Amino acid sequence: MKVGVLALQGASARHVAMLTRLGVQPLAVRSPAELDAVDALVLPGGESTTISMLLESSGLVEPLAARLSAGMPAFGTCAGMILLGREIIDGRPDQRCFEVVDITVRRNAFGRQIDSFEADLAVTGTGDAPVHAVFIRAPVVETVGEGVEILATVDGQPVLCRQGPVLVAAFHPELGDDPRLHELFLSEVV
Ligand code: GLN
């Protein structure tokens, strides 16, 4: 199985490092041909409006939408979560999302950059030790559809969700030293 990391903009390098540490040799995905070569994809944090524009200009929107609707496992973190949700609030009007997780996501709703914060989360399916989570201009999940499992919350708000083979986190699990969420994602891939 080949795992890709979307590398158009944003925090792809730490995802690559984490996956490499877990024994997976990830492929950077910047083109439809590179997408064809992978069985699963990480969509990193960054700026979802910019990633959306770069997906358009690199011809990835249609092929990625097709792969996702055909059931490709995916892991979206922060901006990646915004891209995989059903609806974006406070987005740019031309910003795309792929609608594979039935959530409504409000951009930057935890505040501005200065309001970024960290939290220890109890995460379903990762054992007893909390997961230390870094939130950077994070999105808030405002509504959750029936098919969505909520795996972690902060103050009652979902911050880690799963629908079928797609996992989304409002935070940055690639920062720090804890591989458990990448392991959770990889368990969908094998
Ligand atoms: N605020 C960014 C966006 O709207 C997401 C921030 C992040 O990925 N850390 O895309």
Measured by CA distance, the residue closest to atom 8 of ligand 1 is 45
By the 10 Å C-beta count (0-12 exposed, 13-18 middle, 19+ buried), 169 is classed as buried
Q: What's the confidence (pLDDT) of residue 112?
A: 63
Phi, psi of 64 (to 5 degrees): -70, -40
Cβ contacts of residue 28 below 8 Å, gap of 6+? Answer: 4, 5, 7, 12, 16, 34
Measured by CA distance, the residue closest to atom 5 of ligand 1 is 79
pTM: 0.96
N-term to C-term CA, the chain: 7
Distance from the CA of 48 to the center of ligand 1, in angstroms?
Answer: 6
Strand residue runs (E) in the chain: 3-6, 27-29, 40-43, 74-77, 85-89, 101-106, 117-121, 131-135, 140-144, 149-154, 157-163, 166-169
Model confidence at 20: pLDDT above 90: yes
Contact between residue 94 and residue 138 where contact means Cβ atoms under 8 Å apart: no
User: How far is it, in rounded angstroms, from Cα 107 to Cα 84?
Assistant: 13
Q: What's the confidence (pLDDT) of residue 190?
A: 67
Distance from the CA of 129 to the center of ligand 1, in angstroms?
Answer: 27
Q: What's the confidence (pLDDT) of residue 145?
A: 98
Q: Among 47, 87, 113, say which to mutate for ligand 1: greatest number of ligand atoms within 8 Å of CB.
A: 47
Is pLDDT larger for residue 1 or for residue 19? 19
Model confidence at 11: pLDDT above 80: yes
pLDDT in tens, 139-159: 999 999 999 999 999 989 999
Q: What's the confidence (pLDDT) of residue 31?
A: 98
Q: Across-strand partners of 5? A: 28, 42
Two tokens, residue 22: 């877990």
Q: What's the confidence (pLDDT) of residue 130?
A: 96
46: left (phi over 0), alpha (psi -120 to 50) or beta: left
> What is the pLDDT confidence band of residue 17, given thresholds at 50, 70 and 90?
very high
Q: What's the confidence (pLDDT) of residue 70?
A: 97
pLDDT in tens, 41-73: 999 999 999 999 999 999 999 999 999 999 999
Model confidence at 165: pLDDT above 70: yes
Q: How many CB atoms are located within 10 Å of the residue 20 CB?
A: 11
Q: Please give the share of the chain, as a percent, with pLDDT higher than 90.
A: 90
Q: How far is CA 68 from its chain centroid?
A: 13
Q: What's the confidence (pLDDT) of residue 180?
A: 97
> What is the pLDDT confidence band of residue 162, given thresholds at 50, 70 and 90?
very high
User: How far is it, in rounded angstroms, from Cα 102 to Cα 85?
Assistant: 6
pLDDT in tens, 109-128: 876 666 789 999 999 989 88
Catalytic residue among 34, 78, 97, 182: 78
